[in-house]
Structure 1
Amino acid sequence: MEVSVSGTGIIRAEFDNEQVGRQAIIRIIEDNGLKVLASFQPLVKTSNSDNECCAHDHVSDNKIDDHDHDHDHAHDHDHTHGEAAAGFQQYSAPALSFCMLLAGIIADHFIHPSFFSGWLRLLWYSLAYIPVGYPVVKRGLIYALKGDVFTEFILMGIATLGAFAIGEYPEGVAVMLFYTIGELFQDAAVNKAKRSIKSLLDVRPKTAAVLRNGNYIQISPDEVAIEETIQVKAGERVPLDGQLLNERSSFNTAALTGESKPSTIEKGETVLAGMINQEKVVEVKVTKLFNDSSLARILTLVQEATTRKAKTELFIRKFSRVYTPIVVFLATAIVLLPALIVQDYIFRDWLYRALVFLVVSCPCALVISIPLGYFGGIGAASRAGILFKGSNFLDLIGKVNYVVMDKTGTLTKGVFQVQNVINFTGDKTDWLKAAAALESKSTHPVAKAIVDYAGNDVNLEISNPEEIAGGGMKGLLNGKEIFAGNSKLMKMAGISIPDDVTALTDTVVMVAIDGVLLGYLVIADEIKGDSKAAVEALHRRNIQTIMLSGDKQTVVNRIANELKIDSAFGDLLPEGKVEKVSALKGDPKNIVAFVGDGLNDAPVLALSDIGIAMGGLGSDAAIETADVIIQTDQPSKIAQAIEIGKETNRIVWQNITMAFIVKAIVLILGAGGLATMWEAVFADVGVAMLAILNAIRIQKKNFSDY
């Protein structure tokens, strides 16, 4: 067995025995002391049964959960739906069966050759049955020996072999043939959905040109260290997150944000892995390791999203496990009970009705089309720059009736600039430098604005810096206490504030040293261009909007009035935001989504029913806590995400309704002797095909207008 481990945390192994190989991979993981969720996915299957399998390592609760990542028809059975299996062998068996079945039907109904009867006719249809029937019956027996008796494989095996037993050879072959063809179409649809999701974001560059010993050398991105310099040529993808060292360049960010419009990045600004350099050769100073990059994080989120099931999906799977044995017992009753109550009871006729009943009862249409619908929803959202962390959140977001939004960085750009400086006493240059030195210890956008305004020549030493949530900063400068923040912070410090300063409607940062208020800075933020459209789109859907902010109430009111937000609350500490959302959640009828981007938003994101993080400028804590991530930082994507969730839910329930209605009708007709195997095939395979076609509609739909 050969084993290799990639820098992205994927273990690849080639082995002769799949079970032995998996156990070996698990031992490797455990020997390295890793806490992982190992997902095994066959990548190659060849005629000599050699396998190549990969284990994706994700942090978990110190357990190994073995998934095949292939659809499972409600029984978590591995149908071996690997893409590598697609090809001539996959289609040759049903093609052979189809040709033999067609020839047999022509002989039966048109040519009528004298030799095509008796044992020769049985042999012909048996040979037509084996290529498609043997794999299904074998799989059913394997699962039955393991204790899982009531599977769709057993249903199909009993139904088709029963048809042979009563002399209905063509129908027995046809049922298994169309079941197999339906499986192939289902596999193709599921694989296409998975490829669609993977191809959206699987744009990891294979190499990086890193500067070492005065020369650029090509190495794997996961071997590049922080602070090293990499070179990205025009047309190449950026391999790692970093800071641009050149004056400026234009980058295509579609892989990360879903937006095709190029973005101009200036010197010193952040460049993210996955962006495409469009102008000239640039140099980038690496700030994050490959596995910590924004692209790696997005890839992980999308991969994990497909493993988190919606309640509807989980219910259907549980329902199918109960439903399947029930229909088996009902089919048995259809055969046996009439013998007690029907005078002209004919065993063959009632057995045929029971076989039709079994074929119709197969739950394939439900357990394939439903996850496929969610795959499509996740893919459609990803293309729009919206990342759902699981299909369960697709379900829930469509029920949201309250959207609570943070102000800074969500509805406003979060890019603050100092508009004015008011000095009360002394030289404003001195206290401004002191304030900048203190604010340099914070990552808040307001703090950055003050540092930028003061310039780069600030070299004062601040000791014991402390960030006061919702207030500002405090620290020690040459043994003297220095405060920089809002009126709330000044009152906490016992510093008096003039009434005319308190009355200001703009964002104000006051600076006090040794208990004396020295002056203040007026800071301005700009509303995002699509914030108003975002609020209007939510109102069109009868969704109430609320804005929460730590900024002063006068600033909050001004922005709320401009954007027509229903309610707005300012002067809030993080716990104040938690209280507001908790109050909303006190009514069980409310489904609350909170949208934020800052570190202090993480508790509210976790508390809300749906946490939505602005992923472009948002903090890592907010993004990790959130259920949905908007990569473009556009609030208008909130309504788009809600619409994608609603459309996904509509398609899923359309499929459930259609499958139940058609199956119920044909089940009743079959039990009454009014439906044949051909109708049963339509009720099973035909409905599954229609449900699949309906499910993939969402992958084609354009949600850009929402």
Structure 2
Amino acid sequence: MEHQHTYDAQGRQLCCTREEKINSNVETMEHQLDHDGHNHSHDHHSGDGWFGLFLPAIISLTLLLVAIALDIWISQDWFTGWLRIIWYVLAYAPVGFPVIKDAFRSIARGDVFSEFLLMTIATVGAFAIGEYPEAVAVMLFYAVGEVFQTLAVSRAKTNIKTLLDQRPDEVTILNGNQPQIVRAEHVSIGSIIRLKPGEKLGLDGELLSEKASFNAAALTGESKPDTRTKGETVLAGMINLHTVSQVKVTTAYTDSKLSKILEIVQNATSQKAPTELFIRKFAKIYTPIVVFLAIAICLLPIAFVDHYEFKEWLYRALVFLVISCPCALVISIPLGYFGGVGAASRNGILFKGSNFLDTLARIQNVVMDKTGTMTEGVFAVQEVAFNETFNQAEILQMVNALESQSSHPVATAIHQYVGDSVTNIPLEKTEEIAGYGLKANVNGKELLVGNFKLMDKFGIAYDIDHSNIVYTLIAVAYDKQFVGYIIIADSIKEDAQETIDKLHSLEVKTTMLSGDKGTVVKFVADKLGIDRAFGDLLPEDKVKKIKEIKAKNETVAFVGDGVNDAPVVALSDVGIAMGGLGSDATIETADVVIQDDKPSKIPMAINIGKQTKKIVWQNIGWAFGVKAIVLILGAGGLATMWEAVFADVGVALIAILNAVRIQGMKF
């Protein structure tokens, strides 16, 4: 059951688990930095934030070192009795009392067996048997570990926020040709933004200038200049590179692509990976078991040991409690997944949940669409082969008018070839037939434009063998007669070959499913070395093929545009959308969004998933291994509190450093 968050009088979250405590500390630190940032430089106020976190530990360490010096190195006869106890209590207070307070809060909220309770019992017990230096040292190292974990989580969150939240606070709009600086969130749709070289665009819009080049690294992870022409869409976060440009705002500040991307990444950790969910459940069962085992270690030997000493066995039980604290797992595992999401975002890949990192790590099949995924999706008309009995120019105008009803790349190619229609074509009863093409009535006669299956569907006779033509063919029929066909060619993306090679090196099978001509699909697949390829598929045929793969108990990732292939995306284990910048629907429907059109990001996403899972399991193995060894030694009386501190705080810190390592990896 999820706990409801409660807050104190100052609005700070009252914590129940160590993870909540760390996140609360991060929020408090970020709030303080934001508040101080109005008057101080970034470096200075960052230092203030860190110092505030470390201050209790610094006070405690100073008092502890003085006490140890008086105990061991400085000869005197006054540091004894109540004075010595009070001194160690003062050393314990800055780091110990907050933990004791959190332990009572946890109990009040129904979570009795928390990490806070373990550390409280262990250190108060050590005080009770006179082990004052060890009691203070255990809590001190625990507090230091918590601070380092807070900084690690803060760094992970800051990296992602800095990476993605590239929106400038202010923009320059033209008000009657007069430049005026206003807050970006106050800019209305239709306003004209003036963008100087080096400035970031604050809102999505339409380019009014003839041409401009932008750095879109904040969106795609690629620093290669992106040249846009008049009328094309430009997005918030893009940096104008060369000339002064004008952009007409088309989207509100909060609805921009960058805002949606930022929201996706910040919410990604709400969808937990199975490993995270397991560790949370495990900790809830594991912690009370450890407490009862510690009680057993302390009391059971009475029945079996001849010379039983309560103090000795209590000490062993306390050591056991310190060692068993599951901090390394509870914090480092979510941090590992958070790092994986951040590393992917930095490379222009959006994961909608850390669970998809896990799924991609074990993916066995990548099934991909052809057009726009492995090919450019930029078609060009190569040849028009119409029957001479028809007026070619007139039929092309009709085809152009009908194709203008579609957003398919083929329609764009035909429009570019024919140009703007000279006459107003009277289209009636326009209909798109999924997997076939388009149908309409023109001047009371039926016009069909699509593949040859469309001709077969409507009983149109034709006398050509189209199966041997490699390129994409658009068949045309008018008034129940076959007019001819248009040959359209597409080009393979420059990194498509690299993509397939990397997928094969990861031992991932590849399959291409396309509604395009079988000969075209086979040609592209053979050239790239794709394992299996199927063309001439209707949407329901693609679903059938995915089901055949899944019937073999194999995991499947489908890569497409995330809109037209919605049934296939829903059926696959992971839906990956290409070119997320182009479509709002893509961002909504896919599990993973590749923000540019580069298929090479597919194996990169899989590799990030594998590396994240590897780091997570390294942490699990390391934490359990060290703790198991020291637990056995502690129960046998061979480990002291100092070894216990290493098994708890030391292992946690090493696991955290390992978790944040993924943020600096190159993929």
Q: Which residue of 2 aligns with 1:417?
A: 380
1:438 is paired with a residue of what secondary structure? helix
Q: Which residue of 2 aligns with 1:81?
A: 26
The TM-score with structure 1 as length reference comes to: 0.88
Shift of 1:518: 2.2
Q: Which residue of 2 aligns with 1:313?
A: 276
Q: Which residue of 2 aligns with 1:568?
A: 533
Q: Which residue of 1 aligns with 2:549?
A: 584
Match of 1:480 among 433, 445, 449: 445
Moved more, 71-80 or 677-686: 71-80
Shift of 1:165: 0.3
Aligned residue pair count: 644
1:419, 1:228 → 2: CA distance?
Answer: 41
Post-superposition CA distance 1:633-653 (Å, at most 9, x none):
111111111111111101000
Q: Which residue of 1 aligns with 2:395?
A: 431
Match of 2:368 among 402, 405, 429: 405
Greater length-normalized contact order (CA 8 Å, ≥ 6 residues apart) = 2
Shift of 1:126: 0.6
Q: Is the Cα contact below 8 Å between 2:122 and 2:318 reproduced in 1?
A: yes
Post-superposition CA distance 1:489-511 (Å, at most 9, x none):
11112211222445422111122
- AA in 2 matched with 1:488: K
1:265 is paired with a residue of what secondary structure? strand
Shift of 1:392: 0.7
- AA in 1 matched with 2:126: A
Q: Which residue of 2 aligns with 1:35?
A: none
2:404 is the counterpart of 1:440: yes
Q: Is the Cα contact below 8 Å between 1:418 and 1:453 reproduced in 2?
A: yes
1:41, 1:134 → 2: CA distance?
Answer: 20
Moved more, 196-205 or 164-173: 196-205
2:290 is the counterpart of 1:327: yes
1:479, 1:288 → 2: CA distance?
Answer: 41
2:628 is the counterpart of 1:664: yes
1:480, 1:234 → 2: CA distance?
Answer: 54
Shift of 1:74: 6.0
Q: 1:78 to 1:538 in 2, by over 3 A?
A: closer
1:232, 1:547 → 2: CA distance?
Answer: 42
Post-superposition CA distance 1:661-694 (Å, at most 9, x none):
1111111111111111110000000000110111
Post-superposition CA distance 1:73-99 (Å, at most 9, x none):
367886433224534332221101100
Q: Is the Cα contact below 8 Å between 1:75 and 1:317 reproduced in 2?
A: no
Q: Which residue of 2 aligns with 1:259?
A: 222
Post-superposition CA distance 1:518-559 (Å, at most 9, x none):
232111111000001100111111111000000010100110
Q: Which residue of 2 aligns with 1:603?
A: 567
2:514 is the counterpart of 1:549: yes
Structure 2 unmatched runs, 5+: 33-48
2:75 is the counterpart of 1:112: yes
Q: Which residue of 1 aligns with 2:181?
A: 218
Match of 1:642 among 606, 610, 624: 606
Q: 1:213 to 1:464 in 2, by over 3 A?
A: farther
2:518, 2:211 → 1: CA distance?
Answer: 38
1:287-436 paired onto structure 2 within 5 Å = 287-424=250-387, 425-436=389-400
- AA in 2 matched with 1:132: V
Q: Is the Cα contact below 8 Å between 1:615 and 1:623 reproduced in 2?
A: no
Q: Is the Cα contact below 8 Å between 1:72 and 1:78 reproduced in 2?
A: no
Moved more, 330-339 or 202-211: 202-211
Pairwise CA RMSD: 2.1
Post-superposition CA distance 1:13-56 (Å, at most 9, x none):
xxxxxxxxxxxxxxxxxxxxxxxxxx9999xx9xxx645x9xxx
Q: Which residue of 1 aligns with 2:429?
A: 464
Structure 1 unmatched runs, 5+: 1-38, 54-66
1:274 is paired with a residue of what secondary structure? coil
Moved more, 549-558 or 466-475: 466-475
- AA in 2 matched with 1:217: Q
2:425, 2:271 → 1: CA distance?
Answer: 50
2:442, 2:562 → 1: CA distance?
Answer: 28
Moved more, 453-462 or 232-241: 453-462
Moved more, 297-306 or 345-354: 297-306
Q: 1:252 to 1:623 in 2, by over 3 A?
A: same
Post-superposition CA distance 1:140-190 (Å, at most 9, x none):
012212221101111111100100000000000000000000000000001
Q: Is the Cα contact below 8 Å between 2:290 and 2:324 reproduced in 1?
A: yes
Moved more, 340-349 or 496-505: 496-505
Match of 2:493 among 517, 528, 546: 528
2:661 is the counterpart of 1:697: yes
Post-superposition CA distance 1:572-611 (Å, at most 9, x none):
11111111111111122x1111100152112211211111
1:481 is paired with a residue of what secondary structure? strand
1:178-327 paired onto structure 2 within 5 Å = 178-327=141-290
2:605 is paired with a residue of what secondary structure? helix
Q: 1:635 to 1:513 in 2, by over 3 A?
A: same
2:223, 2:255 → 1: CA distance?
Answer: 24
Q: 1:601 to 1:618 in 2, by over 3 A?
A: farther
Match of 1:127 among 69, 90, 94: 90
1:95, 1:150 → 2: CA distance?
Answer: 29
1:551 is paired with a residue of what secondary structure? coil
Shift of 1:212: 4.3
2:139 is the counterpart of 1:139: no
Post-superposition CA distance 1:473-494 (Å, at most 9, x none):
1112233221111101111122
Match of 1:158 among 108, 111, 121: 121
1:203, 1:231 → 2: CA distance?
Answer: 18
Match of 1:674 among 638, 646, 654: 638
Moved more, 404-413 or 570-579: 570-579
Q: Is the Cα contact below 8 Å between 2:16 and 2:114 reproduced in 1?
A: no
Shift of 1:283: 1.5
2:484 is the counterpart of 1:539: no
Q: Is the Cα contact below 8 Å between 1:71 and 1:78 reproduced in 2?
A: no
- AA in 2 matched with 1:417: A
1:518 is paired with a residue of what secondary structure? strand
The TM-score with structure 2 as length reference comes to: 0.93
Q: Which residue of 2 aligns with 1:32?
A: none
User: Between the two proteins, what is the percent identity of the paired residues?
Assistant: 57
Q: 1:429 to 1:225 in 2, by over 3 A?
A: farther
Q: Is the Cα contact below 8 Å between 1:398 and 1:642 reproduced in 2?
A: yes
- AA in 2 matched with 1:290: Y
